[in-house]
Every structure is written in C-alpha cells, then in structure tokens.
Amino acid sequence: MRSMGTLTRADLAETINRKMGFSRAESLDMVEAILGKMCDALADGENVKISGFGSFILRDKNERVGRNPKTGIEVPITPRRVMTFRASQLLKERITAGT
C-alpha cells in the first residue's frame, strides 16, 4: 500500500488478499459487500459505527434563512440530511502521534 495519497477499494482488497489469503476477486467482493452494507444502512437513516475507527452520523437540518455572500440577498435553505464523520479517540491518537 502507498504511504501517501488516496486509499482506494483496490488497496483495501489487496490488503485483505495479502493478510487473509483470499483471492483477489473474493477480496474485492468482500470490500464491496462491506461498503454496500454501510451505504444501505446510511440510506435507511442508520448511523454507522466502526469501533476503533469512528462513526458516520446522520443529522437532519431544518429549513433556515441564508444570505448570498455576493449580493447580500436572503434566500431560504431547504431542509436536508447531512452526514458527518466523527473519528474515534483511538484514531485521533494515531493521527496526532504521526506528527
């Protein structure tokens, strides 16, 4: 795996392949299944928590009035659902230890 850049699905599958001994196709299927399960849960309104990593949290925002910064005109911002990621304490410690 690369030390810098972006971690991809292929990188995850390669790690599963090397560490667990599954075939490349099985490893990629496993990554796709995990990500698919996470997407389905979030689409159904469930939060996703991965112990030792973090939580993907859904939050509903109410309608509010915003302002166009260029013109200063007030515009309504429609209600919507947003997703945030909150890193676990373990992940935060690993990230800050690397600096």
* pLDDT tens for the 99 residues of the chain, in order: 445 789 999 999 999 999 999 999 999 999 999 999 999 999 999 999 999 999 999 999 999 999 999 999 999 999 999 999 999 999 999 999 866
Q: pLDDT for 29-38, tens place per residue? A: 999 999 999 9
Coil, strand, or helix at residue 76? strand
Half-sphere exposure of 61 (CA within 13 A, CB side): 13
Specify whether 55 is located in the same domain as 97. yes
Specify whether 56 is located in the same domain as 98. yes
Strand partners, 82: 59
Domain around 10 = 1-44
Q: Tell me, yes or no, if the pTM score tops 0.85.
A: no
Specify whether 95 is located in the same domain as 64. yes
Q: How many structural domains compose the chain?
A: 2
Q: pLDDT for 5-17, tens place per residue? A: 899 999 999 999 9
Specify whether 32 is located in the same domain as 58. no
Specify whether 26 is located in the same domain as 52. no
